[in-house]
Amino acid sequence: MSESDTFPRQYARTQRLTLGDPRNVLVSPDGQRVVFARSRAGDDPVNCLWVIDTATGEERLVGDPLTALGAADDENLPAEERARRERMREGAGGVTAFSTDKAVTVTAFALAGRMFVAGLLSGQARELAVDGPVFDPRPDPVATRVAYVSGRSLRIAELDGHSWELAADDDPDVSWGSADFIAAEEMGRYRGYWCSPDGTALAACRVDVAHVPRWYIADPANPDQPATEVRYPAAGSANPDVTLHVLALDGGSVELRWDRDAYPYLADVQWAGEHRLLLTVQSRDQRSLMVLEANPRHGETTPLFADGDLAWVELVPGTPAVLSDGQLVTAADRDGARRLMIDGVAVTPTDLQVRAVVAATDDEVHFLANPIDDATVQHVWRWRTDGTLTALTDEPGMHTVAVGGPTVVLRTAVLDEPGATTHIVDGPTITSHAQVPLVRPNVALHHYGSRRLATAVLLPTGRSAGDGGPLLPVLVDPYGGPHALRVVASHNAFLTSQWFADQGFAVVVADGRGTPGRGSGWERAVHLDLATAPLDDQVDALQAAAAEYPLDLGHVAIRGWSFGGYLAALAVLRRPDVFHAAVAGAPVTEWRLYDTHYTERYLGDPSVDGAPYAANSLLPLADQLTRPLLLVHGLADDNVVAAHTLQLSNALLAAGKPHEVLPLVGVTHMTPQEVVAEHLLLHQLEFLQRSLGLVG
């Protein structure tokens, strides 16, 4: 950092202060090795692969892109890898993903479409020259060969570099071994093949997108370039046709059979034994979910677990899993809370909300959960087959875990200290090179009102609630929708909000109904209505904060991105009496333009009932705009496509409503470009100050 550094510049250059921090932590089953990715500095975007000896704490560099390639890997990336990074919101380069054998002694990773393998005991890496480009390479569990995807085909690489095609199709609409858009963007399934325990077969997805609508994303700044064709399954339209096949390496294949008309979504696949596969399938309306046991020899499937809900059934990360005695580990909403289930029986109390299962070993399950009335914290819990339930963390903060044998690695972020620490329990701390942020949140967390709305209030540095100074203009800074929280006991969660506070604002951040962690009824309050409860809760949190902080309710702005962008635009359209200006980044403005799995979960199928879509669209509200509105959108966004902003802008123009549009050339749904990210913050600040009359 230089003395002239500013927070917007630092925040952009360090990719939101994430660079240099250990990530993708994996522990070997014997507990002797921890493997992870990390760049060399807090402003270095190139991840290397490292292994640490848990007994000695010695770190060894295993994979270095600068040595392997002589450069970063951001050139010549396969299209599939670029898509994976976009789906995972991964802005870094180098080793962003790696896979290992079962014993975690051998690893494989791809750089610039080339395959590299390494011994985690020797620390030696080498390129495996195979036919490419290489995407998602994975050693088999017994470390005899490596499978990988190349374009639309699934291939096998022998350790001498010879590679051969296992599955391919002449049809350009068909691919093998990759996750489709819906699986990766909405289900958290980023892979499309799985090696059998003995390495003799692969379970592989065959994805046919023939009936998925073709959309075209052009680059208006470069009219000489052709538009990019994407297959986008918009709400009410056709999804990809996904089937699952067991492919033997010595020839032969079996298609696994289930009622795909009733359960078209394939959410999860895993081998539970050499002759046993577990599949998680979900209905199109997402009101029903089943875990099936499949026989890889003849393809028949048998139900093991079923769940249903009148609104929707949530997919819980890490489930299903199997204990060594064969008991099935799942998680499901029961009696108002998401609970850990063992063979269909709930084993956690109703005052605990399970967020994810991390590991299921011989006789214990490690999982993440929070008190059902407080989602600002997340703790690591352990359940054992003798019935004991133990919290492994108790400090208020956001905790995650990786487990292997007797070794437990905890990652902890707290409110009072920047960044996070990753340490081996009863062992060394894994070094982080992340930079210390140039702002320090002056923040207090509250639970307001009868609904206990989790609310963070940030004031300018040095300002306190009762210091008697002038009232402060307000910036409401939410996400406010499903699957994401903003109000958490983590220092780095509030860095951008504090920067705005230090420009003279009081910033209010609230997580209302529809956000995760607060139980079944709380999440389902947005069923068929994504607008009313989220907006009402932002208003209620703002008014509650004004009762104890020096807030000027005559000057209130709101900003947000994605669902937060939708909420920001909605706020000035529906509640101009409360909100006086808005910045809406990548907003969903018309839900018919968003994808099937997300949108239909909340609003249903528009081909069956279009009323919820009409009621939640921003387009019919265009003639109600009376406040300044800035719309920001990346023109290369393939998730919330730029048509959302363009259609709203067109409706506003037709209604004679002045507004501003900031198109971001070459930017997708995330903004990793350093210059764009830095100046985007400054542009928003200028707009807010101007719109609220804070500058001459």
One domain for residues 41 and 65: yes
Residues 156, 624: Cα–Cα separation, whole Å: 59
One domain for residues 610 and 461: yes
Write down the pLDDT at residue 681.
Answer: 95
Residues 388, 401: Cα–Cα separation, whole Å: 19
SS (H, E, C) 38-68: EECCCCCCEEEEEEEECCCCCEEEEECHHHH
Is residue 678 domain-resident?
no
CATH classification of the domain holding 302: 2.140.10.30
Write down the pLDDT at residue 1.
Answer: 56
If residue 106 lies in a helix (H) or strand (E), which one and from where to where?
strand 106-111
Helix, coil or strand: residue 670? coil
Residue 94 β-bridge partners = 47
One domain for residues 117 and 182: no
Alpha-carbon torsion (21, 26, 28, 31), positive or negative:
positive
Last residue of a domain, one of 315, 344, 370: 315
One domain for residues 40 and 174: no
Is residue 684 domain-resident?
no
Is residue 67 domain-resident?
yes
Asked if residue 433 lies in contact with residue 492, where contact means CB atoms within 8 angstroms, the answer is no
367-385 pLDDT per residue, tens = 999 999 999 999 999 999 9
Give me 381's structure tokens: 């819990």
Is residue 691 domain-resident?
no
Residue 479: pLDDT over 70 = yes
Non-local (6+) Cβ contacts of 656 within 8 A are none
One domain for residues 537 and 618: yes
Write down the pLDDT at residue 68.
Answer: 82
Residues 152, 669: Cα–Cα separation, whole Å: 25
141-161 pLDDT per residue, tens = 999 999 999 999 999 999 888
Residues 472, 505: Cα–Cα separation, whole Å: 6
Is residue 680 domain-resident?
no
Beta-strand relationship, 174-176 and 193-195: unpaired
Beta strand ranges found along 461-530 (DSSP E) = 472-476, 506-511
**Residue (of 74, 66, 72, 60) closest to 107 by Cα position:** 60
Last residue of a domain, one of 162, 186, 207: 162
Residues 402, 108: Cα–Cα separation, whole Å: 20
One domain for residues 197 and 120: no
Tokens 């700044």 -> residue = 221
CATH classification of the domain holding 605: 3.40.50.1820
Alpha-carbon torsion (567, 569, 573, 576), positive or negative:
positive
Asked if residue 628 lies in contact with residue 687, where contact means CB atoms within 8 angstroms, the answer is yes
**Residue (of 537, 559, 329, 351) closest to 448 by Cα position:** 537
Residue 80: pLDDT over 90 = no
Residues 318, 473: Cα–Cα separation, whole Å: 43
Write down the pLDDT at residue 240.
Answer: 98
670-682 pLDDT per residue, tens = 776 777 888 999 9
421-450 pLDDT per residue, tens = 999 999 999 999 999 999 999 999 999 999
328-365 pLDDT per residue, tens = 999 999 999 999 999 999 999 999 999 999 999 889 99
Helix, coil or strand: residue 693? coil
Helix, coil or strand: residue 589? coil
Is residue 515 domain-resident?
yes
Q: If you write DSSP's letter for every residue of 296-339 in order, what string do you get?
A: TTT--EEEEEEEE-SS--PPPTT-SEE-TT-PEEEEEEETTEEE
- Predicted TM-score (pTM) of this structure: 0.96
Average pLDDT, the chain: 95
The domain of 29 spans 21-162
One domain for residues 474 and 612: yes
283-330 pLDDT per residue, tens = 999 999 999 999 999 999 999 999 999 999 999 999 999 999 999 999
CATH classification of the domain holding 96: 2.130.10.10
- Work out how many domains the chain is built from and give that number: 3
One domain for residues 131 and 175: no
Residues 366, 382: Cα–Cα separation, whole Å: 5
One domain for residues 56 and 82: yes
Residues 458, 2: Cα–Cα separation, whole Å: 27
507-545 pLDDT per residue, tens = 999 999 999 999 999 999 999 999 999 999 999 999 999
229-268 pLDDT per residue, tens = 999 999 999 999 999 999 999 999 999 999 999 999 999 9
One domain for residues 80 and 118: yes
Last residue of a domain, one of 128, 162, 196: 162
In angstroms, the first-to-last Cα distance of the chain is 33
Write down the pLDDT at residue 635.
Answer: 95
Is residue 629 domain-resident?
yes
Residue 510 β-bridge partners = 455
Q: If you write DSSP's letter for every residue of 270-286 in order, what string do you get?
A: EEEETTEEEEEEE-TTS
One domain for residues 532 and 663: yes
187 DSSP 8-state letter: I
One domain for residues 74 and 96: yes
Is residue 260 domain-resident?
yes
Q: If you write DSSP's letter for every residue of 614-651 in order, what string do you get?
A: HHH-SGGGGGG--S-EEEEEETT-SSS-THHHHHHHHH
